[in-house]
Chains A and B, each alone.
Chain A
Amino acid sequence: MFEIPDDRKYLESHEWTTTDGDTVKIGISDFAQDELGDVVFVELPDEGDEITAGDEFGVVESIKAVSDLYAPISGTVVAVNEDLFDAPELVNEDPYGDGWMLELEPSSSDEFDDLLSPEEYREQTE
């Protein structure tokens, strides 16, 4: 079984997001990293870039697959996990922790309501 923590929300395309109230973090789920297999390359936007909910914001590549990353919510990038550039395997090892990808300052708070709850996402992956 794949880990689906209750403290965050999900997209059908397997990204997750959590918030501490001010900023949000984004990454990909345990299910997604397992499907991809060994992650070898991550391409992410720069700090200060604007991203829009539903649009591609980057690429994650494993040995066998290339997958676009989709933004769960809109906002301004305030931090990028640069550790992934030298150690993309962190996405496999700790998808909800050290394998995070972006931190955003959200442009609206309503978009959270459109995302999947852990329960809804669990149903999708079963």
Chain B
Amino acid sequence: MGLRKPPLYDVHADAGAQFTEFGGWDMPVEYDSIRAEHAAVRESVGIFDVSHMSEIEVSGPDGTALMQRLTTNDVAVLEPGDSQYSAIVDDDGLIIDDTVVYRLPDRDDPVYLFIPNAGHDEEMYDRWTSFRDEWDLDATVEDVTEDWAMFAVQGPDALETVSATTDAPVGDLSKFQAQYADVAGVECWVARTGYTGEDGFEVLCPWDDAETVWSALDATPCGLGSRDTLRMEMGFLLSGQDFDPEDEPRTPYEAGIGFVVKLDTEFVGRDALEQQHEAGVDETFVGFTLLDRGVPRHGYDIATEDGDVIGTVTSGTMSPTLSEPIGLGYVPVEYADDGTALIVLARGREKRAEIVTPPFIDN
């Protein structure tokens, strides 16, 4: 099967981007240098094409009930223009995907747009429609992934960059608030959200107007490579890597996002999560740095100083900001305290490591 392409594929290719497969999409991984793109976001402003992210719209009289029962956070607290980070879990409380849920302006009933990760659109559409039918709810579910292009404008100068393209008071948006705004004359959904730890906006624009909006937003083009290093410095989870129903089955509590679980709401997986909440977790998501030269990578073992393998690296890189090797992974809770000395086995070589609770940088 061929890879899916973002609307601006040719624009990125002409700009000299290298591409990589991610979630079934062929996406820019870097334009010139991951290090330079990373620095642009930390110091000024960068723009990412994240049109590979999925979009599912949910509306109708029972739309709120459907969203509430299939996500762990409490959608009832959302007013139009609000959003929240949330998790989608199975009956055992294991994370299938993480997502941001936006409440759009009402159309008779509340309307939600949620953003599953790349390649999860069909799976989520099927999950939402089959539970809707099973529970006999009156809700409309649409996979609008290829109606929307999505750009993330991130960095300390992001507000200036976005403001230059719109008359809308986007500077008034608080974190996780969103509104419709004309950007370069195109009606876009503009949200103060992101995945880098910097101030910034995520702009959803109609697929066919992607080039108008992209070219109006004056920022350093950045690929998925720097998106990954930026999120790792913050300790943010990457779906399919830091949790995965098959390869790394984890609950929100284990993955360090217990704050998105609202046990006073009814949702699939709630009872399993309540049990774990009461009993406590055995293993937990941690950050670490390497004290020896090397780069931690997904899949490397984590061991005690005595050599007993106790955990796994799920993400790692050389931090461009710190010029230090940083990693994320799971260890038993008794090894999770800041400063705990551990070993990471990098291609058979022992590297000394130390637990550091993310974020790795002060922001």
Contact = CB atoms under 8 A, between A and B. Distances in A.
B347 A59 contact: yes
Contacts of A15: none
A109 B347 CA distance: 33
Nearest to A41: B295
B297 to A, nearest CB: 7
A76 B358 CA distance: 44
The size bracket of the interface on A is 10 to 19
B34 A64 contact: yes
Interface in B10-48: 18, 20, 29-30, 33-35
Contact of A37 (B225, B325, B347): B225
Contact of A63 (B20, B225, B294, B347): B225
A40 B33 CA distance: 12
A62 B30 CA distance: 12
Contacts of A38: 33-35, 320
B66 to A, nearest CB: 39
A59 B229 CA distance: 21
Contacts, number: 38
A2 interface: no
Contacts of A63: 34-35, 225, 229, 317-318, 320
Interface in B282-322: 293-295, 297, 317-318, 320
Contacts of B293: 41, 85
Contacts of A50: none
Contacts of B225: 37, 63-64
A66 B325 CA distance: 14
Interface string B215-249: 00000000001000100000000000000000000
Contacts of B229: 63
Nearest to A38: B35
B25 to A, nearest CB: 17
Nearest to A35: B18
Nearest to B35: A38
Interface string A64-102: 101000000000000000000100000000000000000
B30 A37 contact: yes
B48 to A, nearest CB: 15
Contacts of B35: 38, 63
B35 to A, nearest CB: 5
Contacts of B349: 43
B192 to A, nearest CB: 28
Interface string B82-114: 000000000000000000000000000000000
A37 B229 CA distance: 14
Contacts of A62: 34
B269 to A, nearest CB: 34
Contacts of A41: 293-295, 318, 325
B295 A40 contact: yes
A88 to B, nearest CB: 9
B285 to A, nearest CB: 22
Contacts of B34: 37-38, 62-64
Nearest to A64: B225
A92 B65 CA distance: 54
Given A59-B347, A63-B320, A64-B225, A37 B295 contact: no
Contacts of B347: 59, 66
Given A41-B294, A41-B325, A43-B349, 12 more contacts: A37-B33, A38-B35, A41-B295, A41-B318, A43-B294, A61-B295, A63-B229, A64-B20, A64-B29, A64-B30, A64-B34, A85-B293
5 contacts: A38-B34, A41-B318, A43-B349, A63-B229, A64-B30
